[in-house]
Every structure is written in C-alpha cells, then in structure tokens.
C-alpha cells in the first residue's frame, strides 16, 4: 500500500512536470520567433511528434490494430468525423480481435 | 472575435474529442481503482496533471515504495510532445498579458491545438485552446469519477484490447492536421519514416521521438529555405 504522503508528492511532481513541458515549449518558441520563416517549421512539429508515436505503434500492432488504424484513417479521410472514426476503430479492437488475431 | 467568444467556440467545437477523452477517463478511473489508488487521489491527479498519457504511464510504476524518479522520467518522456505543441502556438497567443498566457497554458491540449489551426484567422487562439481545454478537463474529471465508481463492474473484463485506443485517437488528430495543412506533408512523412527506421534498430522510445522530430524539423527548414529562395 502506497502511503498518502508519497502519493501527494508524486502527484505534485507529475503536475509540475506536465505544466513545465506545456509552458517551456511556448517560451522556447518565443525565443526563436524572430528567425525568418520559423513559423511553418514550428507549426509542423506537433505532426512530427504524432508520426513518431504512430509509426512504431502501427509497425508493432496486431492485425486487428492495423485494420482499426486503417479504418480510422479512411473514415477521417472521407468524412472528418472523429466520433465515427474512433467508434469504428474501438469496435474493431474490441470485437475483431478474436477473429483477426486468431491466426 | 473576442477571447470569450473564442473560448465558447472552443467549447462548442470540442464535442468529438470530449467523447474520446471521456472513454480514456473511464479507463483511467478503472485502472487507478484496480491498483488501489484512493478515489480522491486519482481525482486530484486528473485535476492537477490533466494528461491521459502521463497518468497512464505513472500507473505502470505505482507500487510501494513509489519510485519517484522513474515516475518523473516516464511522465516527462510522454509529455515531451507538449513542448512541441507549445512551440507550435508561439505565433498564435499574441495580444494577451504574459501572466494570462502562463496561467492558461495549463490547459494546453492536443486536440485544441490541432483544431485551432483549422479556425478562421479572426478567432483568438489562446481563448479557443483554453475553451477547448475547459471542455476536455470537464470530460476528464467526470469520466475519471465514473471510472472509479464503476470499476467493480469491469473487474472481470480484459481491457487490454483497447490499449491501442490512444494511437487511434492520435491518428484522428494527425488526419485533421494533414487535411488542414497548407504546407506539403513532407516533414511528417520523413518523421514517420525515421521513426520506423529507429524502431527497427531497437532504439529506445525517447530516441525514436527525438530522432524523428529532429528529422521532420530539418525537412521543414529545408522546405522553408527553398520557398524563400
């Protein structure tokens, strides 16, 4: 059993770390903003981070996960509907696993 | 558009990600209850950290004695994308006092940033992202509470299959980015390619993130230099 004092310390530490990451990036950007043409570079960064997480996740994914990902991308491409895309993807994960990953 | 109107617009347009955040919140509540975190502690964590990926990362190591260093490092590593989100908003939070920007950055959130790029130029981006964040926070807290209260109902279920839900939601954001971008997607393609190569080489997750974001950034710089001649 984790004691309450240690828990509070951990929670405070987590909150501080997360908040600092949110604030630090913005202030680094403020230091760089005078550089000519930097705006499109900075605005490309979140997409690069998403790709850095997504590409290995798909590479190591099971068949049901790959099918779910392909479905999400297809639905987003056609409709931009986040709820339908996520719902279909989750349904494939939950109900497709026994069929798609059985072999 | 005023800051208040932009914040309300952020709240109004957040329904899609309100739902997906809600699902993650319920899962977090269930996971927190399963490893014995008190309800008020889990709620405090959700209210103060407001980070799905960081909180799930911390739960992985939640056992006595708490390994504070390991938790700090893992939360930092999964939160590094916040650095990039903050950098992306550099040119969009002008016109507000420094104090307001510092305080409101607490609510910086992925879908809010992604969707803010799709709004008209007259929308106040800080107001929009903050309004979006208020909505996400509401969803996150309500769903954490529900997850904690209903955890006993899910005790027998294997929720392992939905571990991949995080990348799915991230893919929806990537697609919004991709379709809304006025620049060619080359930096993102390069970034994904480098991430795959580093993964195949057996690199640690933080090296994959660092290497692929650096490659994407260099590509974007080359692209800009070409555009400027």
Contact B93, B125 (CB under 8 A): yes
Evaluate if residue B14 carries a pLDDT over 90: yes
Interface of A with B in 70-99 (CB under 8 A): 72-73, 76-77, 80-83, 85-86, 89-90, 93-94, 97
Specify the pLDDT at position B142: 96
Q: Whole-number mean pLDDT of chain B?
A: 89
Specify the pLDDT at position B158: 65
**In chain A, which residue's Cα lies nearest the Cα of B22?**
A83
Specify whether B41 is located in the same domain as B149: yes
Evaluate if residue B52 carries a pLDDT over 70: yes
Q: How far is it, in rounded angstroms, from Cα B209 to Cα B93?
A: 26
Tell me whether B83 touches chain A (CB under 8 Å).
yes
Q: Pick from B162, B167, B81: which is nearest to A59 by CA? A: B167
Whether residues A56 and B208 touch (CB distance < 8 A) is answered with: yes
Average pLDDT over residues B12-40: 90
Q: How far is it, in rounded angstroms, from Cα A52 to Cα A70?
A: 17
Residues of B in contact with A6 (CB under 8 A): 64-66, 68
Q: How many CA atoms lie within 13 A of B223 on its CB side?
A: 21
Write the DSSP assignment of B128-174 as a string of letters: HHHHHHHHHHHHHHHHHHHHHHHGGGGTTS--GGGGGHHHHHHHHHH
Specify whether B106 is located in the same domain as B55: yes
Specify the pLDDT at position B159: 66
Residues of B in contact with A15 (CB under 8 A): 45, 48-49
Specify whether B194 is located in the same domain as B127: no
Per-residue confidence at B120, pLDDT binned at 50, 70, 90? confident
Evaluate if residue B155 carries a pLDDT over 80: no
Specify the pLDDT at position A18: 95
Task: Quote the minimal CA–CA distance from B48 to chain A in Å.
Answer: 5
Contact A6, B55 (CB under 8 A): no
Percentage of chain B modeled with pLDDT above 90: 53
Please identify every stretch of chain A with a pLDDT value under 50, giving residue numbers as ranges.
Answer: none
The ipTM assigned to this model is: 0.87
Q: How would you label B157-188 residue by residue, b for 16+ Cβ within 10 Å and e otherwise?
A: eeeebbebbbbbbbbbbbbbbbeebebebebb
Tell me whether B81 touches chain A (CB under 8 Å).
yes
Specify whether B40 is located in the same domain as B90: yes
Q: Pick from B83, B81, B27: which is nearest to B55 by CA? A: B27
Whether residues A22 and B108 touch (CB distance < 8 A) is answered with: yes
Task: Quote the minimal CA–CA distance from A88 to chain B in Å.
Answer: 10
Specify whether B72 is located in the same domain as B112: yes
Beta carbons within 8 Å of B196's beta carbon, 6+ residues apart: A55, A56, A59
Per-residue pLDDT reduced to its tens digit, B79-104: 888 999 999 999 889 889 999 999 99
Evaluate if residue B152 carries a pLDDT over 90: no
Tell me whether B206 touches chain A (CB under 8 Å).
no
Per-residue pLDDT reduced to its tens digit, B194-215: 999 999 999 888 889 889 999 9
Contact A46, A25 (CB under 8 A): no
Domain that residue B51 falls in: 3-180
Write the DSSP assignment of A35-73 as a string of letters: STTHHHHHHHHHHHHHHHHHHHHHHT--HHHHHHHHHHH
Interface of B with A in 140-159 (CB under 8 A): none
Q: Pick from B222, B198, B226, B229: which is nearest to B212 by CA? A: B198
Specify whether B17 is located in the same domain as B49: yes
Specify whether B65 is located in the same domain as B166: yes
Per-residue confidence at B134, pLDDT binned at 50, 70, 90? very high
Residues of A in contact with B220 (CB under 8 A): 40-41, 44-45, 48
Closest partner residue to A22 (CB to CB) among B20, B105, B174 is: B105
Evaluate if residue B39 carries a pLDDT over 70: yes
Specify whether B221 is located in the same domain as B171: no
Specify whether B108 is located in the same domain as B168: yes
Number of domains observed in the structure of chain B: 2
Specify whether B127 is located in the same domain as B203: no
Burial class (CB in 10 A: 0-12, 13-18, 19+), A80: middle
Per-residue confidence at B60, pLDDT binned at 50, 70, 90? confident
Average pLDDT over residues B178-186: 84
Specify whether B216 is located in the same domain as B149: no
Specify whether B88 is located in the same domain as B123: yes
Q: How many A-B residue pairs are in contact by the CB < 8 A criterion? A: 293
């Amino acid at each position: 059993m984790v004691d309450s004092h240690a828990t509070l310390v951990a929670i405070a530490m987590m909150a501080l770390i997360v908040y600092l990451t949110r604030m630090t990036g913005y202030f680094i950007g403020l230091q760089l903003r005078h550089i000519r043409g930097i705006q499109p570079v900075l605005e490309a960064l979140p997409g690069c981070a998403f790709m850095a997480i997504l590409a290995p996740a798909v590479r190591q994914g099971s068949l049901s996960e790959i099918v779910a990902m392909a479905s999400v991308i297809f639905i987003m491409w056609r409709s931009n509907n986040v709820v339908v895309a996520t719902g279909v993807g989750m349904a494939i994960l939950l109900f497709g696993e026994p069929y798609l990953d059985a072999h | 558009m005023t800051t208040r109107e932009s914040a309300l617009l952020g709240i109004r347009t957040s329904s899609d990600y309100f739902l997906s955040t809600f699902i993650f919140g319920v899962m977090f509540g269930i996971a927190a209850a399963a490893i014995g975190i008190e309800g008020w502690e889990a709620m405090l964590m959700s209210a103060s950290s407001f980070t799905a990926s960081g909180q799930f990362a911390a739960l992985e190591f939640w056992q006595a004695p708490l390994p504070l260093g390991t938790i700090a490092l893992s939360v930092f590593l999964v939160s590094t994308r916040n650095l990039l989100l903050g950098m992306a908003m550099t040119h969009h939070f002008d016109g507000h006092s420094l104090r307001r920007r510092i305080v409101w950055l607490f609510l910086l959130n992925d879908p809010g940033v992604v969707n803010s790029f799709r709004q008209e130029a007259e929308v106040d981006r800080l107001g929009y992202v903050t309004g979006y964040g208020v909505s996400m926070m509401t969803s996150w807290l309500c769903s954490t509470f529900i997850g904690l209260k209903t955890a006993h109902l899910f005790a027998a279920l294997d929720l392992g299959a939905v571990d991949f839900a995080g990348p799915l939601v991230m893919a929806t954001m990537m697609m919004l980015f991709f379709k809304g971008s006025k620049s060619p997607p080359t930096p993102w393609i390069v970034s994904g390619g480098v991430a795959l190569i580093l993964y195949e080489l057996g690199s640690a997750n933080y090296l994959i993130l660092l290497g692929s974001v650096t490659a994407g950034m260099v590509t974007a710089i080359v692209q800009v230099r070409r555009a400027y001649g």
